[in-house]
């Protein structure tokens, strides 16, 4: 896939509601996915959808997911149409009317059939990408999966072929009547309360020797925005 190509929406990946919030640059899709830590995977199980949070990683235009080979949802996802959504909540939008209250957000929605990865090299690549997305530097610094762990892990791949991105930013979109008609001395407050995900201070495992140094791969992220 040409990663410089714009998103070419199909019927279901065409944003209809709030179309002015839609983005069609592939770079926007990558940015929203790369900034997240977990997404929500939707799978049809029996006669109803199931939505579960899960980690992920991106390699070019392939998204990798993983889970226990025993997980019913992952089994149901294999080869089936799924939807994978990553959302960042960026702000609470206070308006002058209840109706125009909203949120600022960035959201990527990926549609497609999840492919069970069976090639050993691609399985390792997927697990590396997943680990590095969650914890950069951990793949090199920690013990790699052994044969038993690999056998217990299913790796799924989802092509970023059919996807949509929606982003809302900025102040409320109030009606003119509510802005113009405001009490000049005591107007209803409107604006945005930003929401940010932040990383805190590292909490060492109690089984580490006392005083074990926090490595740069962890320390560099502490007290900074998540993602």
Across the beta sheet with 162-168, the strand order is 22-23, 162-168, 102-113, 81-94, 38-45, 48-55
C-alpha 43/C-alpha 191 separation (Å) is 37
C-alpha 164/C-alpha 201 separation (Å) is 35
**Of positions 118, 121, 147, 213, contacts a copy of itself by CB under 8 A:** 213
Q: Which stretch binds a copy of itself (CB under 8 A): 26-34, 39-47, 57-65, 114-122?
A: 39-47
User: Of the two residues 9 and 42, which places its CB atom closer to a copy of itself in the complex?
Assistant: 42
User: Of the two residues 46 and 120, which places its CB atom closer to a copy of itself in the complex?
Assistant: 46
Residues 132 to 171 in contact with a copy of itself, rule: CB under 8 A: 134-135, 138-139, 141-146, 149, 153, 171
Q: Which of 85, 70, 59, 73 is nearest to 157 (CA)?
A: 59
User: Does 179 help bind a copy of itself (rule: CB under 8 A)?
Assistant: yes
Residues 57 to 116 in contact with a copy of itself, rule: CB under 8 A: 67-68, 70-72, 81-85, 87, 89, 91-92, 94-99, 101, 103, 105, 107, 109, 111
C-alpha 67/C-alpha 88 separation (Å) is 23
Residue 185 and residue 201 in contact, taking contact as beta carbons nearer than 8 Å: no
Q: Scan for tokens 């809302």, then name that residue.
A: 168
User: Does 210 help bind a copy of itself (rule: CB under 8 A)?
Assistant: no
**Of positions 1, 27, 38, 151, contacts a copy of itself by CB under 8 A:** 38
User: Does 53 help bind a copy of itself (rule: CB under 8 A)?
Assistant: yes
C-alpha 24/C-alpha 151 separation (Å) is 39
User: Does 206 help bind a copy of itself (rule: CB under 8 A)?
Assistant: yes
User: Of the two residues 121 and 201, which places its CB atom closer to a copy of itself in the complex?
Assistant: 201
Q: Scan for tokens 């107007």, then name that residue.
A: 187
Taking the complex as a whole, the smallest distance from the CB of residue 96 to a copy of itself amounts, in Å, to 6
CB neighbourhood size of 72 (10 A): 12
CB neighbourhood size of 192 (10 A): 17
User: Does 201 help bind a copy of itself (rule: CB under 8 A)?
Assistant: yes
User: Of the two residues 3 and 101, which places its CB atom closer to a copy of itself in the complex?
Assistant: 101
């Amino acid at each position: 896939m040409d990663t410089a190509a714009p998103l070419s929406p199909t019927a279901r990946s065409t944003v209809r509601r709030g179309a002015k919030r839609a983005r069609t640059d592939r770079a926007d899709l990558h940015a929203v996915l790369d900034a997240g830590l977990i997404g929500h995977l939707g799978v049809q199980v029996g006669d109803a959808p199931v939505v579960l949070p899960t980690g992920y990683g991106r390699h070019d235009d392939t998204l990798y997911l993983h889970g226990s080979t025993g997980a019913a949802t992952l089994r149901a996802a294999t080869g089936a149409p799924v939807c994978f959504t990553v959302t960042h909540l960026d702000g609470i939008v206070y308006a002058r009317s209840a109706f125009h209250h909203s949120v600022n957000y960035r959201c990527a929605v990926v549609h497609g059939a999840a492919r069970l990865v069976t090639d050993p090299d691609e399985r390792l690549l997927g697990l590396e990408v997943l680990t590095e997305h969650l914890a950069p530097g951990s793949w090199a610094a920690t013990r790699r999966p052994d044969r038993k762990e690999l056998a217990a892990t299913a790796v799924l791949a989802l092509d970023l072929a059919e996807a949509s991105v929606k982003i809302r930013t900025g102040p409320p979109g109030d009606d003119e009547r509510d802005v113009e008609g405001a009490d000049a001395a005591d107007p209803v407050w409107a604006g945005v309360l930003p929401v940010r995900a932040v990383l805190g201070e590292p909490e060492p495992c109690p089984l580490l020797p006392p005083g074990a140094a926090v490595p740069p791969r962890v320390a560099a992220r502490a007290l900074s925005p998540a993602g």
